[in-house]
């Protein structure tokens, strides 16, 4: 997720707070839907043909650790290197051990209809695109995959273009032609979706994916078609949650689900859908029939209510999973896990994994002490 998206969310939250204040009096005085445990269980039971597989908060040890952009704080984001390192560190004999249950990354469509991993609308922030092509703001759909392969996706790591106080000695991947980096050059070139699936399959990854379609309009629909085709080819419908901040793509996915894929596509809620769900919670109203299975929610320290126990419980009662982005502070991770989050996306999955072990140990210890009384 990017800063522009967070700003949109922040603006939306201000708007919803104003709305919430306006409707609170109405919500308190109007006839409300029963909210006792039995009525909410009835709502959930009626809704779920099968339990949402992404609701795992109540299954010990099943909380999902997700590497946001494949762990962009630890390795260059959205690269084959980052993905491979996530899986290598999961091996029991790894020198630094941590487990990533969910790989999260973003997709753009190229000029020749290849799906590549990239978060931003252009290549400027993380690559040497300006140096190679001589201009800023080049869009993925304006270049072929072969042309994009010229770029170094680890060029600025661990910084971003324009960052203050850059220590050049830490930019260890800036020269992929050097003897030191030649062996890893291909891991820092543009990576296609099929390359990801081939790599993770070969490495024995059995976890899940959160894949965000960044394009909108006609390009976004072509991207959705291609992604769903790959999901069918690799039999991955039950392992992938598709996300998008573009309402037209959400609608298009819903149409594909109804007309072609027989309800097998699992998608997350868009911005407005998250806000509507939160408003339903505030107003003590049933969520109703929705076409998403997952709320992917920004955790904002100045507006923590999206991560409250009440809102998470409300979603779970409606058979909707709660996944949070982008959480990099250990204290916030701990709070969300204890509040019932099903998954957290973090740029530092190592820290997140360590926090999950800490919380799990504390909970198990408390339960053992209670049982002994």
- Predicted confidence (pLDDT) per residue in 22-44, tens digit: 444 334 333 344 434 443 343 34
Rounded to an integer, what is the distance from CA 194 to the centroid of its chain? 19
pLDDT of residue 47: 41
Judged against a pLDDT cut of 90, whether residue 2 lies above it is answered with no
Percent residues over pLDDT 70 in the chain: 87
Rounded to an integer, what is the distance from CA 107 to the centroid of its chain? 12
pLDDT one-digit tens code per residue, 294-352: 999 999 888 889 999 999 999 999 999 999 999 999 999 999 999 999 999 999 999 99
Provide the mean pLDDT of the chain: 89
pLDDT of residue 98: 97
The domain limits of the chain are: 101-116+192-267, 119-189
Measure the CA angle with vertex 199, ends 89 and 133; round to 5°: 100
pLDDT of residue 3: 52
Cβ-based burial of 44 (10 A; exposed 0-12, middle 13-18, buried ≥19): middle
> Which residues partner with 296 through β-bridges?
323
For residues 172 and 62, which has the higher predicted lDDT (pLDDT)?
A: 172
pLDDT of residue 311: 97
pLDDT of residue 26: 38
For residues 318 and 363, which has the higher predicted lDDT (pLDDT)?
A: 318
Phi, psi (rounded to 5 degrees) for 280: -60, -40
Spatial distance between the Cα atoms of 61 and 59, rounded to a whole number of angstroms: 6
Give the range among 30-34, 123-127, 177-181, 247-251 with minimum mean pLDDT.
30-34
Query: Sign (positive/negative) of CA torsion 312, 65, 191, 293?
Result: negative
Q: Are 75 and 81 in contact (CB under 8 A)?
A: yes
């Amino acid at each position: 997720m990017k800063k522009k998206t967070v700003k949109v969310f922040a603006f939306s939250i201000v708007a919803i707070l104003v709305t919430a204040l306006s409707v609170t009096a109405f919500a308190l005085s109007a006839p409300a839907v029963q909210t006792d445990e039995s009525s909410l269980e009835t709502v959930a039971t009626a809704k779920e043909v099968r339990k949402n597989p992404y609701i795992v908060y109540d299954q010990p040890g099943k909380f999902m650790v997700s590497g946001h952009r494949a762990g962009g704080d630890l390795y260059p984001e959205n690269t084959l290197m980052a993905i491979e390192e996530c899986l290598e560190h999961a091996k029991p004999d790894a020198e630094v051990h941590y487990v990533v249950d969910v790989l999260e990354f973003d997709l753009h469509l190229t000029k020749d209809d290849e799906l590549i991993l990239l978060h931003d609308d252009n290549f400027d922030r993380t690559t040497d695109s300006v140096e190679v092509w001589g201009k800023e703001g080049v869009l993925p759909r304006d270049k072929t995959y072969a042309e994009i392969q010229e770029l170094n996706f680890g060029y600025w790591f661990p910084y971003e273009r324009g960052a203050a106080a850059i220590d050049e000695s830490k930019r260890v991947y800036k020269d992929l032609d050097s003897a030191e980096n030649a062996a890893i050059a291909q891991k820092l070139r543009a990576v296609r979706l099929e390359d990801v699936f081939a790599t993770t399959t070969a490495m024995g990854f059995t976890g899940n994916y959160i894949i965000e379609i960044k394009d909108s309009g006609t390009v976004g629909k072509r991207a959705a078609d291609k992604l769903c085709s790959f999901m069918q080819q690799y039999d991955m419908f039950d392992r992938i949650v598709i996300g998008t901040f573009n309402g037209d793509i959400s609608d298009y996915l819903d149409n594909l689900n109804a007309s072609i894929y027989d309800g097998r596509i699992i998608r997350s809620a868009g911005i407005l859908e998250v806000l509507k769900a939160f408003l339903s919670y505030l107003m003590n109203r049933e969520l109703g029939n929705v076409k998403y299975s997952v709320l992917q929610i920004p955790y904002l320290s100045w507006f923590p209510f999206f991560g409250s126990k009440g809102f998470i419980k409300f979603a779970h009662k409606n058979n909707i999973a709660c996944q949070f982005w982008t959480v990099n502070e250990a204290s916030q991770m701990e709070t969300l896990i204890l509040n019932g989050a099903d998954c957290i996306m973090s740029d530092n999955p190592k820290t997140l994994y360590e926090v999950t072990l800490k919380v799990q140990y504390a909970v198990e210890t408390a339960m053992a002490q209670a049982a002994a009384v």
